[in-house]
Structure 1
Amino acid sequence: MTAPLKLVAVSAGLSVPSSTRLLADRLAGAVRTALEGRREVEVEVVELRGLARPIADHLVTGFPGPELRAALESVEAADGLIAVTPVFSASYSGLFKSFFDVLDREALTGTPVLIAATGGTARHSLALEHAVRPLFAHLRAVVVPTAVFAASEDWGPGGDAEGLGPRIARAGGELADLLAGRPPRPRTGPEVVPFEQQLAALRAG
């Protein structure tokens, strides 16, 4: 039996409740729906709001704390990624960028990624194409064609049916199609070399 795929959604929302987290949850739900009957999927959400200080500490010291390490390992082990940021100053948030700055540079190579963003007005939607998509292209991820932007009016009456809902379904379907034929990543941890063996190798050198 094929092991379930691991889908990780990274949300950089700062408020509680957060429209950024809401969008991440809806996108994950769309991927799960699109994979029904094809593959099982396990969804994990990484909230960056609670990791702001550990991320800053890592940028200064070069060492992640246990909470940040667990989040980074989850993203590194993901078969697919949903990345959602609020738009600040016409770009991704500093918290969002900082998290991916401390991620291993090879971690997302070949990983299917769905990008999304939230903002007060649709005028900020271009941030997905001029900032977020190039970031994941630099990390050598495989970014799905449809990026999803949710403005404030998209959450109001009628906004979802007219635009946001179909965009979420389309983007979720694109990510699901990339994941459907993908073998799950190995879930084994790093190889542990006994200390005696390491010491013997040093003496031999």
Structure 2
Amino acid sequence: MSSVLVISGSPANPSRTEKLGEHVSGELTASGHEVEHLRVRALPADSLLGADFDDPAIRAAVAQVETADGVVLATPTYKAAYSGLLKAFLDLLPQFGFAGKAVLPLATGGSVAHVLSIDYALRPVAHSLGARHVVQSFFLLDEHLAVVGEDLEVHPDSTKPLADVIEQFDKALDGVPHDTALGRTA
């Protein structure tokens, strides 16, 4: 199976977005993929913001992206865009840092007014980094995510759509054409 890197771009701890990344990690692991979870907020702030490519933690994080077959981007929505923390990390990647990879963009936010932030902000960045395939993105309202103990509970209105995009991503990792991943055939 494929290797996947989940990148959580939330500066908060605890974070529903980070828990969403853990949830997706669990689903992909159950499908047989090797999954690692990179929490950008755990990287050294001075090195991240100062673009210190010599910092061992920064080099290791960039290497995780390089070796992954697929990347899940999980971000909270701030000011109608993905987090600045995630932006700072993505800026450290080479111009085609996602070349050959499948990418699943996920965002959380407090209002449906931010739902297009994925398609107008995060998706274009994934494409510009050379992703082989960016699957259907998904936006989850904060009110649809509850952290109970160590677990994430997803509201029933978001459970099926989230499972669908995870399935699309799973199939994209294996090279199945997008139409097939959506249950249609050519």
**Same-fold call, TM cutoff 0.5:** yes
Between the aligned partners of 2:27 and 2:164, the Cα distance in structure 1 is 8
Greater relative CO (CA pairs within 8 A, separation 6+): 1
Shift of 1:176: 0.7
Between the aligned partners of 2:115 and 2:55, the Cα distance in structure 1 is 34
The aligned runs of 1:133-148 (5 Å cut-off) are: 133-141=123-131, 142-144=133-135, 146-148=136-138
Between the aligned partners of 2:10 and 2:90, the Cα distance in structure 1 is 15
Deviations 1:21-53 (A, max 9, x none): 0111222233334x3xxxx31110000112233
**1:31 is matched with which residue?**
28
Aligned residues: 168
User: TM-score normalized by structure 1?
Assistant: 0.76
Between the aligned partners of 1:12 and 1:63, the Cα distance in structure 2 is 19
Runs of 4+ with >4 A deviation:
none
Shift of 1:159: 6.3
Match of 2:173 among 171, 175, 179: 179
**1:65 is matched with which residue?**
55
Match of 2:93 among 82, 92, 103: 103
2:9 matches 1:12: yes
**Quick one: structure 1 residues 31 and 66, their matched pair in 2 at CA, closer, same or farther if it must change by over 3 Å?**
same
Shift of 1:152: 1.8
The aligned runs of 1:36-185 (5 Å cut-off) are: 40-51=32-43, 52-58=45-51, 63-141=53-131, 142-144=133-135, 146-155=136-145, 160-162=155-157, 164-181=158-175
Match of 1:21 among 18, 23, 27: 18
The answer as to whether partners of 1:153 and 1:159 remain within 8 angstroms in 2 is no
More strand as a share of residues: 2
Q: CA RMSD in A?
A: 1.9
User: TM-score normalized by structure 2?
Assistant: 0.83
> Aligned with 1:102: secondary structure?
coil
Task: Name structure 2 gaps, 5 residues minimum.
Answer: 147-152, 177-186
**2:181 is matched with which residue?**
none
Between the aligned partners of 2:71 and 2:99, the Cα distance in structure 1 is 12
Between the aligned partners of 1:25 and 1:13, the Cα distance in structure 2 is 13
**2:149 is matched with which residue?**
none
Shift of 1:64: 3.5
**Quick one: structure 1 residues 137 and 14, their matched pair in 2 at CA, closer, same or farther if it must change by over 3 Å?**
same
The answer as to whether partners of 2:11 and 2:85 remain within 8 angstroms in 1 is no
Task: Name structure 1 gaps, 5 residues minimum.
Answer: 183-205
Shift of 1:155: 1.9
Between the aligned partners of 2:99 and 2:62, the Cα distance in structure 1 is 15
Deviations 1:148-171 (A, max 9, x none): 212121125x96112x21122111
